[in-house]
Structure 1
Amino acid sequence: MLTANLVADPRLLNEYLDYHATQFEKWSKVSDGFFNAQFQQLLLYRNGRQLMLVISIRKHKSLDKLNTKTTENNPRVDGWNTRMKKYQEGISGTSPGEVWV
């Protein structure tokens, strides 16, 4: 389970939600990256500005190792991740530049 915040800007929040509403049509390679990483399930919840990301993986596997497979031979995922950084920030107590913890 990972958490991050959305930036405190209503316009950017709406952009973020729009990207996710059309993700499977316009950014289908992102879900291919999750498949490549062998994620069993990926759930995203939002409470106000706070995001909660739940990633289910196989027993005895490492999220750090599997996560690198999301971008392997898949530059579209890199583009998505770069774009999403505009909308996300770390929760209180994270280091500068640290987003998902």
Structure 2
Amino acid sequence: MKQYCLALDLKNDPVLIAEYEAYHKKIWPEIEKTIFDSGITKMEIYRVGTRMTMIMETDDSFSFSKKAVVDKNNPKVQEWEDLMWKYQQALPHAKAGEKWMLMEKIFSLTK
């Protein structure tokens, strides 16, 4: 198992934030399938203000580059991504077109 943490911002609009969260109470079944099919075994999104953090647990078959290719060729995923972009905004230091950005682990504590 591997774990990844990613960040992205939402637009600072309470109505849009509420709509975004409503979509995530029951994501489209096609989106859920593509997530699990890619090797992601668990995904959680947390929010404070407009900042979101996604934590993903994956099996050994997962690859960001492989998922990007599969997603780019899936019309339903593209429809979902286009819809979600209505609510999302890139982090200030993101490159053009970059959405969820991989975070660097800087601390870990285990008992």
TM over 0.5: yes
Between Structure 1 and Structure 2, how many residues are aligned? 97
2: CA distance, partners of 1:32 / 1:40? 11
SS in 2 for 1:5: strand
More strand by share: 2
Q: Which 5+ residue runs of structure 2 have no aligned equivalent? A: 102-111
Alignment match, 1:77? 77
SS in 2 for 1:79: helix
Mapped contact 2:31–2:77 kept (Cα < 8 A)? yes
Tell me which stretches of 4 or more aligned residues in structure 1 moved more than 3 Å. 66-69
Q: Which 5+ residue runs of structure 1 have no aligned equivalent? A: none
Q: Deviations over 1:48-73 (max 9, x none)?
A: 1111111222348532223433x377
Name the TM-score, length of structure 2 as normaliser. Answer: 0.73
Alignment match, 1:19? 23
Cα displacement (A) at 1:10: 1.3
Name the TM-score, length of structure 1 as normaliser. Answer: 0.79
Larger radius of gyration: 2
More helix by share: 1
- Structure 1 residues 53 and 22: alpha-carbon distance in aligned structure 2, compared to 1, 3 A threshold: same
Q: Deviations over 1:31-64 (max 9, x none)?
A: 0001221212211111111111112223485322
1: CA distance, partners of 2:57 / 2:64? 9
Mapped contact 2:7–2:51 kept (Cα < 8 A)? yes
- For the aligned residue pairs, the C-alpha RMSD in angstroms reads 2.1
